[in-house]
Amino acid sequence: MSNLASMQKTMGNSTTAAIQIGDIKGVITKLSRTDQTNINTGITTNTDFNVLKEDTDLATDYSRVVHIPREAYNMAIQGKGSFAGVLLFQGIHQDDPSSSFLNNEMIGIEMGAEIFNLSHTIDIHYKKVDKKGNIASCRSWDGKGTVKMFFWYFKAAFKQDLRLTSAINVKKTLGTFMSSAFVGRKPIWVTDGCRTNEADDSITCQCSHLTFFAILMSPPPQNLSSTDFTALSYITSVGCGLSMFFLMVALFMHCLIRKIKASQATLLLINLFVAMFSLNLSFLVNESIAGLGNFAACVAIAAVMHYTMLATFTWFFIQALHLYFNLWKISTEIKHYMTKICITGWVTPAVVVIALLALGKYDHMVTYTDDGNSAKMCWISDTVVHQGVNISYYGIVFIFTFTVFIITVRQIVLLKPTAGRGQDISSIKTNSTSIMGLLLLLGLTWAFAFFSYGPLRIPSYYIFTILNSFQGFFLFIYYYKSSKSGEDRNVTASSSSTATSNTAVVSPYQ
């Protein structure tokens, strides 16, 4: 703290001073213990710095504006900080040649104290940004101590014979130190603690801590054509609406009309209906909530949609497990069997979602089309996390459900009747619809969305959206048929939503 005191003495009566260290420019402001307020620093296109008054017109004069809230000011004072420094570092390059930093620059902010978990964020506004079709992402430096080392050296320099007047010219040695500080340490730029807000041609980074900040510009993922995007959006919206309607009718029938005791299979199916209905509903309202610009609401709907999706996957797995028990005549007379199944179906995905909420992985996500248009939704902002969590989760479910599907189809083929050509044709039609119903019941159609790459990506999306549009209808028909039987039947066949009582193969899964 003696370094901070020496710096204040060197500044004399000046409250602000400019800084220049080679190509590094900035401004330092002395903190007052009595008049604590917001600090706004404007940076022009020529990299000139000015500490701005509250009523300054920020819309026309400055290309970048750094806003430090009063909360950070108070936290710095309480931590015995005595200054606020904002520095601009130019010529910063990204290791990955496919991406770059906006203007090849980063901004460092220091206040002489630990500043973190701010409820009122530090905002860095960038104006008139030409993204050139790239995706902007606000990042913060995770330097494992490099930032603290630099500012310690920076403050120590003021203890020497350097003069602080209207400008500060620190010796070239300090610039050399800055270069060497990053040598041997691979930059780690993370999204933790920062949000990216875009409006027209401006970008605002909202961060809850102090360090170095930059905007990473990355090429968008393989764009959809505007025609495909419109068609897929329309099919998905109509499909979700149809599925919700039939699922709601099935739930209504179960709650108000059904009078006999439901079988285990029917109860499992009802749980799947609830998960799928919630998933479709959250998906339909997601884009509208994303358009509101409310971060808390966006995180909430993203978490709900993610939870219902993982719950749907889990119930696909449970459906396959129960079908497997029926095929191999494994008794389900286990103590509290349904209770244990329901806990597995609803609690397991909750653990994953709570972990991602704690890590702050839910945010806005933008889908781009080849004509430059885009659509927002609330989802997992980190692609690596999405792939690691969702694709891995569904991959485990898919392996098991697909195995059960193959076993069931084999049983259907083995039980194919041999009497008469007419009966044989009828059996083929029935078994075909049974297999289709089983595909939807076990959620195997989701593989078209999760495992589609390369030239088959767009056709896979169409197949997925069309098949899933009928998922609610098929499952409703299955529920209607199975609810009329009133008892479990153990005959090896598909659990088709269109199976009838006179078919050659009867569903084992009721």
Summarised one tens digit per residue, pLDDT across range 389-412 is 999 999 999 999 999 999 888 887
What's the pTM value of the predicted model, to 2 decimals?
Answer: 0.63
Phi, psi dihedral angles at 204 (to 5 degrees): -125, 125
DSSP secondary structure string, 476-501?
HHHHHHHHHH-S----SS---TT--T
**Average pLDDT over every residue of 169-192:** 51
CA quadruple 300, 274, 243, 254: dihedral, nearest 10: -150
Average pLDDT over residues 138-167: 50
Maximum average pLDDT range among 82-86, 179-183, 409-413: 82-86
Asked if residue 499 has pLDDT above 70, the reply is no
Residues 443, 313 contacting (CB under 8 angstroms): yes
Q: Are residues 269 and 477 in contact, defined by beta-carbon separation less than 8 angstroms?
A: no
Residue 223 per-residue DSSP state: P
The answer to whether 140 and 207 are in contact (CB under 8 A) is yes
Identify the pLDDT of residue 47: 86
Give kind and range of the element (H or E) at residue 253: none
Q: Is the pLDDT of residue 317 over 90?
A: yes
End-to-end CA distance of the chain: 74
pLDDT in the model for residue 176: 41
In the chain, count of helices (H) and strands (E)?
A: 14, 17
C-alpha torsion 10→16→20→21, nearest 10: 50
Residue 197's pLDDT is 86
Are 152 and 4 contacting, i.e. CB atoms less than 8 angstroms apart? no
- pLDDT value at 154 more than 50: no
pLDDT surpassing 60 at residue 80: yes
Of the two residues 17 and 273, the one the predictor is more confident about is 273
pLDDT top residue among 148 and 127: 127
DSSP state of 257: I
Q: Are the folds of 2-218 and 226-382+453-485 the same?
A: no
Fold designation for 226-382+453-485: Rhopdopsin 7-helix transmembrane proteins (1.20.1070)
Give the contacts of 29 (CB within 8 A, at least 6 positions apart).
Answer: 15, 16, 39, 41, 51, 83, 84, 85
Choose from 201-205, 220-224, 427-431 the range with maximum mean pLDDT: 201-205
* Domain ranges, ordered by start, for the chain: 2-218, 226-382+453-485
Average pLDDT over residues 147-164: 42
- Give the pairing of strands 100-101 and 39-43: unpaired
Most confident of 103-107, 307-311, 497-501: 307-311
- CATH fold of the domain at 2-218: Chondroitinase Ac; Chain A, domain 3 (2.60.220)
Percentage with pLDDT > 70 across the chain: 73
Which is more confident, 497 or 118?
Answer: 118
Mind listing the pLDDT tens digit for each residue in 17-55?
877 777 888 888 888 888 888 899 999 888 888 888 765
Beta bridge pairs of residue 203: 126, 198
Q: How confident is the model at residue 490 (pLDDT cuts 50, 70, 90)?
A: very low
Q: What is the per-residue DSSP string for 169-220?
A: E--HHHHHHHHHHTTTS---EE-TTEEEEEETTEEEEEESS-SEEEEEEEPP
